[in-house]
């Protein structure tokens, strides 16, 4: 198949390389003209991809219409907060594809829309939208380490075909049916990963992280079910699987940002030290708004927001969680 990937960051380039080796024809969009030219000429995508080069057969271009021309699959691998702008850019394009696949993990902080809801604003994508999510640390995948993900979408036949086309010998894809649950789990888990990073930065051990993960999945499930998701989804690859991976991995950008904050750095300083975007920051604000709208209690998310946006100290945040009124599990 011919695949056009929007986003030349860490996951976008790794997904493209993986699918190139899987026999597909790959084009990748880099929005910055100068950077696109440099990556195309040198095949070097640092700092997003360290120690690996992009195969010569993969086209890199800054012109989005070039990337989308005559492709079977459009893949979105861009930050959640710029997805709406990209969809607006695509509105006047005539190129049609069979599949519109989101790898985006986040919620738009302004509209509170999930990625698939944003993509659905594109008329030619309606009825052809799919979401792929799971424990997918890109640096592990490029090293050839195995993982699995879940694929959900508008059309069960399309899900089955994409599963067949995109599965590799180290990237196993399962079929699912709960788009809401998969996207909410993928987004919300970044907030819990931030909390786990903060815990590590404070010097706490596995007990604290285990408690955060266990109670975090309760918060994710509580809000997700209220918004129409299936509770079981949050115990699968896009829920618990992704949550555990992101909360423990030293290569997780959300865990890394949280650790820096736990060590005493303010959000702006911690962000300035990172190359890649930690989606958990805007998502924390978005999820807090969704929880308030739906009258759902999300104490870990609330504390993370207080630490990130209202200068509460991490120590105070932990104390707030530990001194809440006692209740049944």
List binding-site positions for substrate: 105, 253-254
Assigned token pair, 134: 């799971």
Rounded CA-CA distance 185/250 in Å is: 20
**List of E strands, 154-246:** 171-175
Strands 2-6 and 73-76: parallel
Annotated binding site: 7-12, 105, 134, 138, 189, 242, 252-254, 277, 279
| Sign of the CA dihedral running 209, 212, 218, 219 | negative
Rounded CA-CA distance 249/207 in Å is: 16
Residue from 189, 209, 260, 288 carrying the catalytic annotation = 189
Assigned token pair, 153: 């979408």
* Strand, coil or helix: 122: coil
Closest CA to 191 of 109, 295, 86: 109
CB 5 within 8 A of CB 16: yes
Annotated binding site for sn-glycerol 3-phosphate: 105, 134, 189, 242, 252-254
Residue 312 annotated as catalytic: no
CB 20 within 8 A of CB 57: yes
Rounded CA-CA distance 100/78 in Å is: 13
Strands 73-76 and 147-153: unpaired
CB atoms within 10 A of CB 62: 18
Rounded CA-CA distance 280/291 in Å is: 15
Q: What are the catalytic residues? A: 189
């Amino acid at each position: 198949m011919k695949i056009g990937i929007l986003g030349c960051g860490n996951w976008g380039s790794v997904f493209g390389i993986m699918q190139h080796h899987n026999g597909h024809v790959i084009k990748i969009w880099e929005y910055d003209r100068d950077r696109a030219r440099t990556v195309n000429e040198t095949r070097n995508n640092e700092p997003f991809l360290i120690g690996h080069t992009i195969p010569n057969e993969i086209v890199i271009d800054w012109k989005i219409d070039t990337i989308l021309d005559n492709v079977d699959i459009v893949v979105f691998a861009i930050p959640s907060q710029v997805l709406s702008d990209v969809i607006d850019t695509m509105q006047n394009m005539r190129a049609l594809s069979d599949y519109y696949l989101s790898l985006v993990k986040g919620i738009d902080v302004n509209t509170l829309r999930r990625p698939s809801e944003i993509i659905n604003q594109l008329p030619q994508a309606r009825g052809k939208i799919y979401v792929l999510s799971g424990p997918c640390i890109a640096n592990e995948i490029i090293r050839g380490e195995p993982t699995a993900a879940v694929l959900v979408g508008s059309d069960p036949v399309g899900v089955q075909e994409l599963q067949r086309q995109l599965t590799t010998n180290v990237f196993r894809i399962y079929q699912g049916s709960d788009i809401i649950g998969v996207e909410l789990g993928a987004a919300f888990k970044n907030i819990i990963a931030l909390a786990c990073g903060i815990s590590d930065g404070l010097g706490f051990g596995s007990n604290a992280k285990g408690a955060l993960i266990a109670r975090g999945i309760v918060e994710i499930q509580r809000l997700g079910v209220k918004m129409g998701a299936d509770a079981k989804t949050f115990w699968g690859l896009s829920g618990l699987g992704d949550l555990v991976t992101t909360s423990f991995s030293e290569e997780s950008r959300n865990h890394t940002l949280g650790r820096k904050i736990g060590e005493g750095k303010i959000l702006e300083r911690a962000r300035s030290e990172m190359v890649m975007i930690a989606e958990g920051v805007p998502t924390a604000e978005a999820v807090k708004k969704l929880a308030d709208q739906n009258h759902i209690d999300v104490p870990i998310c609330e504390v993370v927001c207080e630490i990130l946006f209202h200068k509460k100290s991490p120590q105070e945040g932990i104390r707030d969680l530990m001194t809440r009124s006692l209740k049944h599990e």
